[in-house]
Amino acid sequence: MRIAPALVLALLAAAPALASDKPVNAGPYVPSPQSVVADMLKLAEVGPKDFVIDLGSGDGRIVLTAAKVFGARGFGVEIQDHLVRLSNEAAQREGLADRVRFIAQDLFKTDISQATVLTMYLLPHTVNLLKDKLLAELRPGTRVLSHDYPLAGWIPEQYVQMDLEDKVAISGVTTTLIYLYVVPAKVAGSWNAKVAANVAKGPVRLDFRQQLTRVSGSARIGGKELPLEDVRLKGGQLSFRLPGRGGQFSGTVRNQAIEGVVEAGGVKSPWSAVLK
């Protein structure tokens, strides 16, 4: 049988698209021990205002526990249909179906923007494949919990290490890690700031450089460039100090604006900035 060259080319061109329709297997079904589930949710201080999304939800235990014990809402996504069915049945049985649901869906194609807490227990390389998605879709301040595997280059807000006998059957060792990250606001760029006259006379420009949660910066005041000290960013909460002048700034970053309080010479006053 002869195949026309044009048809061969068309088939070759379609191949990557066809292949990419198959979900990436982000890990086999291995449930987190129930004690780890409780520790993860406690570490993130999950409460009734939270919306928890578990990527690769297995039998649904993380989202079910978040609802039952901590009063949260949420959903889980899972590619194995029978696990989704089991999870939804458990939600019905435990009277939680009005607050949680489980969807048969590829986690890489799931809209996660609703999460205030995102959990995952996935293969190490998968966790890192998700990094850009987490930063693009999650709002600043969203807590991200990863069981056992870290997000490379992203400094955790907290991490907990413990030994659990249950883990030997899963990973061959007792070591168990839980990483808690907080999605940082985007502050990189130049900002025009307004401050009280006791802090600086005239316009102030703030320049921030950012790599995930690591931020450094400088202030341009009256033609002088001053490096900012002790710059910290947790979610949308930004703080830094102006050298010499003793101005301690704190503020909340929202969209392309910052509003907060600066304390200089024992006097507190409001300050604000907008991205240029």
**Site of interaction with ligand SAM (CB under 6 A):** 23-27, 29-32, 54, 56-58, 61-62, 77-80, 83, 106-108, 121-122, 147
How far is it, in rounded angstroms, from Cα 111 to Cα 160?
Answer: 28
The least CB distance from residue 170 to ligand SAM, in Å, is 8
Q: Which residues contact 86 (CB under 8 A, 6 or more apart)?
A: 59, 60
Axis crossing angle, helix 34-43 with helix 61-68, rounded to the nearest 10: 60
Nearest to 216 by CA among 192, 200, 237, 233: 233
Distances in Å between the Cα of 92 and the Cα atoms of 34, 74, 105, 176, 229 are: 20, 14, 20, 31, 53
Burial environment of residue 84 by CB neighbours within 10 A (0 to 12, 13 to 18, 19 or more):
buried
Q: Which is nearer to ligand SAM, 57 or 142 (CB)?
A: 57
Residue 166 Cβ vs ligand SAM, minimum distance, rounded to whole Å:
12
- Nearest residue to ligand SAM, scored by beta-carbon proximity: 56
- Closer CB to ligand SAM, residue 105 or residue 269? 105
Smallest distance, ligand SAM to C-beta of residue 60, A = 8
Nearest to ligand SAM of 86, 212 (CB atom): 86
Closer residue to ligand SAM, CB minimum distance, 65 or 213: 65
What minimum distance in Å lies between the beta carbon of 27 and ligand SAM?
Answer: 4
